[in-house]
Structure formats: structure tokens, C-alpha cells
């Protein structure tokens, strides 16, 4: 099992500086080679990250990281494969380790280091195999794609672990699942363990086997892990109106005394932040918004509305897997930002083969932009990068922001403005009060009974 990537001390920019088998001269040679070599920034980050992971894994398994043996590299690659790393990632690991050893003047331990992953054959009868195939055919329609991807990754991890220990993974015994929880528990959160168990349970029921996760011993293992580790979840930092205002000002094309005009990516990011603020959309909902679902508010039917306001349809969400859809409101400021972005947004060919005239707007509100060209749709991960980059530009010390920060911040702003919990649930399309209550718990604590009573006594 691979460890989480460790944080390195400032004086250990070269991860192999922590390896006790290296002399100061050999460490200095590695530092010099890494600093002198001209390489792209992503390559440099990959070399450092791969080396940190390898050094940490060697430390956990008691193996020398440099010079490493072929057996050590083969075992490391096998552990990475069991952890779900792709073939491309495994090839990159080999290349990185070969580069570091060459830089240090050591023999290449990666030559002939094959990935020894055991062959995993589930003990399935014909009836169980037929049931499994039938389930997968239906699951493609009944489950979200993200759920299926997560389940497949969880099962690959479990099957690889069972293969390493010579245990059957389908069907699996309750003792096997309990051992699995104990071994992975030190590096996994309770929520992750719960997801692993849900995936194992699902695949057993699909194949017609008894669910090992319902056994009392597995239940106690899961509870014991949660008690030992703690079940507190990390929450994204809230991007409230007060924090968002200076970011939007930096991206406002009407800002006076601007030293240089804004780029298309600036206009796109401003529109994205405003739409995310108004709609409380999750990152996957935000990137799925379409131009054709954007409609101006009819002022004759809505006397309280202001000119320029609009609504947009969120076709599907985490709590609306059937796709009934919901309408979300957009402020005039957000609509104006969308107009400014659309005026400079790339156009896409009218025909799928790419040979038609470039006259058609992209179907989605927000497209991917890069030096290599534009893509018609952003990814949820790209939303996270936008939020991180823009908050970092406004405040270099800002940490903890993600694609969910807009949703958390909007929820806190609504509560601060006096919106009750049912209204908050309706605005954010929550089906349960659990998450909006969690997002606003700190603000609610300052308005609780104790706070109110103590303040009144202090005034008196």
C-alpha cells in the first residue's frame, strides 16, 4: 500500500537527502544535477513528487531508497498498481527513479523491473457470473457515472489487496474484510472506509453472494476505526461575498485605471464566479450549464425583478439523478459578466467532423482555455483550479479553497441575511438539512442561545 505524499522539510528539497545510506557528497551531487538540469516545470514537479512517494514507501517497508535494488522497485510498482495507479503513471514512476539514480551516479534499478500484480480470478459460478453481468448492464443506466467509477476503483483496490494476501475477494469472508479495514485504516478516513465497504457490499449482492459487510465483526471493525481515527470531515473554505468582492473587482472590465485589458480567461473566470455565487451550483452542475437554458426574467410578470436578471436551468444534480431539473436565479451582474464572456468566447465548428464553418456557439456556458486551444466544456477539477488561482491572486495566504467554496460561502451569506434552513435548502437544492447545517454551523454558533443570553447580560 502506498503512503500519502508526505510534506518535506524546507531544507530537504531533494527527497533523497533524507536517505541515511547516502553520503553528503552523494546528496550534493543529486542537488547539483537537479538544479542544473533544464526541464519544464511539470517535469520538475513530477520528479520531486515521485521521489517523495518512493522515499516514504521505502521508509515504511524498511528498504533502502538509494541505491535501490530491482526487487525494491518491482515491489514499489506492484504496490502502486494495487493502489490503482494507471499504466502511464507506473511508467512515469520508473522513468523518475531511473533519472534520479543516473543523476546520483548509481546503476539503473528499473531495467527489467516488472510490475508483479497477481492474477485475480473470482470464484464465480456460472449463475453468479450471469447475475453480475446482468447487474452491470442495468447499473449503467441506474447509477451515476461517478458512482460506477468509484465502485470500480474500490473493487480493483480490494481485489489487488486480496491477491497480495492470497485471499478470495469474490466471495470474500467477513474476516477478510475486517483485516482489510484494519490494514487500510491507518491511512484512510472513516468516510473512505465506508465507501469501500459499500462497493464491496454492492458487488457481492450483484453476484448473488452473501454480503460480508453485514456481518457483526465487520460492523464493529468499522465503528472501531471511526472511533480511533475520528469522523470529522474537512470543509472547503467559504468564499463569501466579502471575500469575493476584491476578486471580482480585479476581473471587472469596467474597472478604471486598468493597466492592461483583460484576457478572455479573466472574463470567463469572473462570469463563472458570479454564476456559482448566485446559483449555489456544485462544480459538476456549474460546468454542465448550457446557453440554451439561459432566459431573461420577464419584468411584466415579475414586478420586483430588476432589468438584466435571468434564470438558468440546472438539468441534473447530485440530489436529482432522474433529471427533473430546477431553475436558478442570476443577478444582473452575473448576466452582464456572461454577456462580456460570450463576446470573446471561442466558437466551435458546426459539424462534428470539424470541417464546418466556425459559426456555432459552444453548447456550455464555460469552456476550457489553454495555450493548446479551447475545449467546449470545462471539468469540475478546472473549477477548483479557477477558485484556487483567483483567491491566491487576491490573497497569497489564502488556503483551503476549492470548487465547493462558492457554495459554502453563498450558504453562509444567505444565513447571515436571515434566510431560514428550509429556504437555504431550497436555494441550494439540498434534500437533507445535514450539509447546509454543517456549512453554517460556525455562524449559527455565534447566533445560538448561549451567545444571545451572554450578550444581553453584558449589555445590562
Say how far apart CA 122 and CA 43 lie, in whole Å.
Answer: 39
* Per-residue model confidence as pLDDT tens digits over 130-146: 666 677 777 777 777 77
Higher-pLDDT residue of 204 and 42 is: 204
What pLDDT score does 129 carry? 63
Q: Is the pLDDT of residue 120 over 70?
A: no
Q: Is the pLDDT of residue 166 over 60?
A: yes
Give Dmax over CA atoms of the chain in angstroms.
80
What pLDDT score does 117 carry? 41
Mean pLDDT of 428-447: 79
Q: Is the pLDDT of residue 12 over 60?
A: no
Domains 15-103 and 241-444 share a fold: no
Which fold would CATH assign to domain 15-103? DNA polymerase; domain 1 (1.10.150)
Whole-number average pLDDT of the chain: 80
What pLDDT score does 124 carry? 57
Taking a C-beta distance cutoff of 8 angstroms, is the pair 414, 427 a contact?
yes
Q: Is the pLDDT of residue 5 over 50?
A: no
Percent of the chain with pLDDT strictly greater than 70: 85
What pLDDT score does 231 carry? 57
Among 115, 197, 106, which residue's Cα sits nearest to residue 150? 197
What pLDDT score does 9 carry? 35
Mean pLDDT of 240-258: 85
Q: Is the pLDDT of residue 198 over 80?
A: yes
Ranges 37-46, 58-67, 227-236, most confident = 58-67
Each domain of the chain, given as residue ranges in start order, spans: 15-103, 126-229, 241-444
What pLDDT score does 75 carry? 77
Question: Does the domain formed by 126-229 have CATH 3.30.2130.10?
Answer: no
Do you find a cis peptide bond into 374, omega within 30 degrees of 0? Answer: no
* Per-residue model confidence as pLDDT tens digits over 264-310: 899 999 999 999 999 999 888 999 999 989 999 888 888 888 888 99
What pLDDT score does 362 carry? 64
What pLDDT score does 13 carry? 63
Among 349, 345, 309, 347, which residue's Cα sits nearest to residue 329? 309
What pLDDT score does 336 carry? 93
What pLDDT score does 423 carry? 85
3-state secondary structure of 328: strand
For the ranges 59-68, 108-117, 341-350, the lowest mean pLDDT is seen at 108-117
Do you find a cis peptide bond into 67, omega within 30 degrees of 0? Answer: yes
What pLDDT score does 128 carry? 64
Q: Is the pLDDT of residue 334 over 50?
A: yes
Q: Is the pLDDT of residue 6 over 70?
A: no
Among 270, 259, 241, 281, which residue's Cα sits nearest to residue 393? 270
Q: Is the pLDDT of residue 234 over 60?
A: yes
Contacts (Cβ under 8 Å, ≥6 apart) of 132:
124, 203, 206, 207, 208
Q: Is the pLDDT of residue 171 over 90?
A: no
Q: Is the pLDDT of residue 232 over 70?
A: no
Which fold would CATH assign to domain 241-444? hpI Integrase; Chain A (1.10.443)
Amino acid at each position: 500500500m502506498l503512503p500519502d505524499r508526505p510534506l518535506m522539510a524546507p531544507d530537504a528539497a531533494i527527497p533523497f537527502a533524507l536517505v541515511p545510506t547516502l553520503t553528503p557528497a552523494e546528496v550534493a551531487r543529486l542537488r547539483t544535477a537537479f538544479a542544473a538540469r533544464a526541464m519544464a516545470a511539470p517535469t520538475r514537479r513530477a520528479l520531486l513528487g515521485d521521489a517523495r512517494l518512493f522515499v516514504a514507501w521505502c521508509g515504511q517497508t524498511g528498504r533502502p531508497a538509494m541505491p535501490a535494488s530491482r526487487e525494491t522497485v518491482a515491489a514499489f510498482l506492484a504496490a502502486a498498481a494495487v493502489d490503482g495507479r494507471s499504466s502511464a503513471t507506473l511508467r512515469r514512476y520508473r522513468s523518475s527513479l531511473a533519472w534520479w539514480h543516473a543523476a546520483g551516479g548509481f546503476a539503473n534499478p528499473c531495467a527489467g523491473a516488472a510490475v508483479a500484480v497477481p492474477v485475480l480470478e473470482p470464484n464465480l459460478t456460472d449463475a453468479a457470473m450471469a447475475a453480475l453481468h446482468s447487474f452491470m448492464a442495468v447499473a449503467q443506466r441506474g447509477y451515476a457515472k461517478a458512482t460506477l467509477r468509484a465502485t470500480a476503483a474500490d473493487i480493483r483496490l480490494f481485489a489487488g489487496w486480496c491477491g497480495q494476501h492470497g485471499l478470495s475477494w469474490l466471495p470474500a469472508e467477513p474476516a477478510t474484510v475486517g483485516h482489510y479495514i484494519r490494514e487500510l485504516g491507518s491511512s484512510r478516513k472513516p468516510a473512505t472506509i465506508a465507501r469501500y465497504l459499500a462497493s464491496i457490499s454492492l458487488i457481492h449482492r450483484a453476484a448473488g453472494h452473501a454480503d460480508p459487510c453485514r456481518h457483526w465483526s465487520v460492523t464493529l471493525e468499522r465503528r472501531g476505526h471511526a472511533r480511533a481515527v475520528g469522523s470529522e470531515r474537512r470543509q472547503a473554505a467559504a468564499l463569501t461575498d466579502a471575500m469575493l468582492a476584491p476578486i471580482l473587482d480585479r476581473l471587472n472590465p469596467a474597472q478604471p485605471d486598468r493597466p492592461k485589458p483583460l484576457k478572455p480567461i479573466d472574463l470567463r473566470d469572473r462570469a463563472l464566479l458570479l454564476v456559482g455565487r448566485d446559483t449555489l451550483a456544485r462544480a459538476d452542475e456549474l460546468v454542465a450549464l448550457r446557453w440554451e437554458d439561459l432566459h431573461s426574467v420577464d419584468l411584466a410578470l415579475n414586478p420586483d425583478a430588476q432589468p438584466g436578471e435571468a434564470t438558468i436551468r440546472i438539468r441534473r444534480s447530485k440530489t436529482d439523478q432522474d433529471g427533473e431539473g430546477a431553475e436558478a436565479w442570476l443577478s444582473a451582474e452575473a448576466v452582464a459578466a456572461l454577456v462580456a464572456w460570450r463576446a470573446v468566447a471561442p466558437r466551435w465548428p458546426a459539424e462534428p467532423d470539424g470541417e464546418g464553418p466556425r459559426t456555432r456557439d459552444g453548447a456550455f456556458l464555460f469552456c476550457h482555455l489553454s495555450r493548446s486551444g479551447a475545449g467546449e466544456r470545462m471539468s469540475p477539477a478546472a473549477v477548483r483550479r479557477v477558485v484556487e488561482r483567483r483567491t491566491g491572486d487576491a490573497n497569497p495566504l489564502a488556503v483551503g479553497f476549492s470548487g465547493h467554496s462558492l457554495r459554502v460561502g453563498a450558504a453562509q451569506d444567505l444565513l447571515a441575511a436571515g434566510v431560514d434552513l428550509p429556504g437555504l435548502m431550497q436555494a441550494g437544492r439540498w434534500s437533507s438539512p445535514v450539509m447546509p447545517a454543517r456549512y453554517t454551523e460556525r455562524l449559527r454558533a455565534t447566533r445560538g442561545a448561549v451567545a444571545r443570553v451572554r450578550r444581553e447580560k453584558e449589555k445590562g
